Amino acid sequence: MKTESLKQLALHALHDLKGIDILTLDVTDLTTITDIMIICTGRSSRHVRSLADNVVKDAKVKRHSYIKVEGQRESEWIIVDLGDVIVHVMQAATREFYNLEDLWETHAHSYTRHRQ
């Protein structure tokens, strides 16, 4: 899948289950690991797990071949790696503590906050 299609797939999956404060960062020029980083908050460990699972489910439905997931056991911060797009789904306290927005936002090519 193309990067934009992957990004839209992930955003739809997160919005579908009412992900909170979704942020998209274009980090193409900052790292070779990924092009797009999506950050989303879940209300609880169960919500975080459900959001991440929904992204994985939708990617599998579209037959996306590269899917790696980390952090499912703890469910405070789950990373769904789709290659060109990496999705970080976190509980509010974890997101506030690590503050990935401040780390990447000022250097990102672009960033977009997605409101519901």
- Model pLDDT, residue 43: 97
Which residues are CB-contacts of 84 (< 8 A; sequence separation ≥ 6)? 3, 6, 34, 35, 36
Residue-level pLDDT, tens digit, the chain, 116 residues: 899 999 999 999 999 999 999 999 999 888 899 999 999 999 999 999 999 999 999 999 999 989 999 998 888 999 999 999 999 999 999 999 999 988 876 565 555 667 65
Domain count, the chain: 1
- How many residues belong to the chain? 116
Range of the domain at 55: 3-114
- Model pLDDT, residue 98: 95
What is the domain-level CATH number for residue 27? 3.30.460.10
Q: Which of 55, 50, 62 is nearest to 38 (CA)?
A: 55
Which residues are CB-contacts of 79 (< 8 A; sequence separation ≥ 6)? 68, 69, 70, 71, 86, 87, 88, 89
Helices in the chain by DSSP H: which ranges? 3-16, 45-61, 92-98, 100-105
φ, ψ dihedrals at 16, nearest 5°: -60, -35
- Model pLDDT, residue 53: 98
pTM above 0.85, yes or no: yes
